[in-house]
Structure 1
């Protein structure tokens, strides 16, 4: 199979990344529905729907905002502006969704933590989306730098590059099973599983961004990496609490 993978259907080119992106949303939501049926949700249906709406709006705004901030020095032509408006990133979506949920919970006065139920559906959704990123090769800005290591792959430009999307797929599989094991073998406070997911994923993305052809703005960090630091600072009380109990 050649990368980028450009399948055709009835003579029309299929945007495989877009197809898998929509599939990721659909399957992740179906997985969420299945999981919610298996447990007694402490949050009533109306409040849960409000939380989902807050997450969706926050994710939409956050994904576009961070996508824009990844290219702050771009020339503002009509073509570039359209491209910027279509730019989005899962990192901004996750953190924006987190803030959207917190705002929604403040409005409806919901005190229960709501994130644990979303953890595994989110991992599934990201996994499917990253398959699309890998199959798109250099057509998606998720490819890695050139490398002479045994992991180098031709992603469509004739150069051997880090297949960072594949690295992330492996990480997501490991994270899925590790969090499943933690959830089944340890007694966690409501909300802790989601915090562990966010800290793990944002920590991974902070590291792997060094393998991508990013623009590094502040302290040698890219926009995504700065967002990762913000996320870790946001959860710093949780980190210190766990470290204190472990000592």
Structure 2
């Protein structure tokens, strides 16, 4: 059995103001993304320049916050939203969804790509490696905040979370996600991006890999209390939301390489004429 470290979810409080580890990890994630983006913007293939990075990060941050909140409300608490529509705006009460945040970022990237007159797919390829470290830090914040813990287990990796009312040995699923969706996904994307890839391939790889990793980890993560299991009682809401990511990401990869191969053959043919 692993021992949960004594960590207060609240870093410090000043009157009614409370600073949580999860919020700090969010800020740190954006900072790391900004630093990686500055470095990647120096490459010749970069679709944006150094002076455009801050605007990109700000747009993405708004997409994460508003999209994440909207996704949490619609995907996981739709009935409560119908009873209290203004609950959507009370962000300070907590509740964020990755899949909603992803949709928010995609909308923000689409808008920004049009603003700077750049390809949406190229911008998506640029942003893809910036995301995993922030995801990993967010899962560490979940772990420190004792939230989104795993299902009960009898294995040696189980630990008892202090605020668990049942005091059961549970999988530290937040750490599983930190490793897979954070560290491993980042390493794969960075290694793949070292060589030129067809436009859209890197973004597609991010979608397919994240969706696959999330689908796997959901087998160890406790389902949302208000929802439980979907699809005949054996699949979680997170898994259902990850399936489209896997399909879209795989399709995008195939399209990227097929399109690049087609264009290359077309150029060769014209060169022979």
Same fold, TM exceeding 0.5?
Answer: yes
Cα 1:183–1:243 shift into 2, 3 Å: closer
Which of 199, 202, 207 aligns to 1:190? It is 199
Distance 1:242 1:108 in 2: 22
The structure showing larger relative contact order (alpha-carbon pairs under 8 Å, at least 6 residues apart) is 1
Q: 8 Å contact 1:3–1:154 — kept in the other structure?
A: no
Match in the other structure for 1:101: 109
Distance 2:86 2:6 in 1: 28
Say whether residues 1:60 and 2:73 are aligned partners.
no
Task: Give the drift of 1:164.
Answer: 0.8
Q: 8 Å contact 1:67–1:84 — kept in the other structure?
A: no
Q: Which has the larger radius of gyration?
A: 2
Say whether residues 1:2 and 2:6 are aligned partners.
yes
Task: Give the drift of 1:160.
Answer: 0.9
Which of 180, 191, 194 aligns to 1:181? It is 191
Match in the other structure for 2:95: 87
Cα 1:237–1:23 shift into 2, 3 Å: closer
Say whether residues 1:151 and 2:157 are aligned partners.
yes
Q: 8 Å contact 1:202–1:231 — kept in the other structure?
A: yes
Task: Give the drift of 1:93.
Answer: 0.9
Match in the other structure for 1:131: 140
Task: Give the drift of 1:148.
Answer: 0.9
Q: 8 Å contact 1:199–1:232 — kept in the other structure?
A: yes
What's the CA shift string for 1:198-245, capped at 9, x where partnerless? 210122112222322322334554433232222233335324448989
Using the size of structure 1 for normalisation, the TM-score is: 0.77
Bigger mean CA deviation after superposition, 146-155 or 117-126: 117-126
What's the CA shift string for 1:117-172, capped at 9, x where partnerless? 223321121122221111111xx2x2111111121111222321111111112212
Equivalence map 1:1-247=2 (5 Å) = 1-3=5-7, 5-8=9-12, 14-39=19-44, 41-43=46-48, 55-68=60-73, 69-74=75-80, 76=83, 82=90, 86-106=94-114, 109-111=117-119, 113-137=122-146, 140=147, 142-156=148-162, 157=164, 158-171=167-180, 172-184=182-194, 186-214=195-223, 215-218=228-231, 220=233, 221-241=235-255
Distance 1:52 1:27 in 2: 11
Cα 1:227–1:108 shift into 2, 3 Å: farther
Q: 8 Å contact 1:3–1:155 — kept in the other structure?
A: no
| Residue segments in structure 2 that go unaligned for 5+ positions in a row | 261-273
Distance 1:116 1:67 in 2: 26
Task: Give the drift of 1:4.
Answer: 5.2
Distance 1:3 1:51 in 2: 34
Task: Give the drift of 1:103.
Answer: 4.5
| C-alpha RMSD of the superposition | 3.6
Secondary structure of the equivalent of 1:160? coil
Q: 8 Å contact 1:47–1:108 — kept in the other structure?
A: no
| Residue segments in structure 1 that go unaligned for 5+ positions in a row | none
Query: How many corresponding residue pairs?
Result: 241
Using the size of structure 2 for normalisation, the TM-score is: 0.71
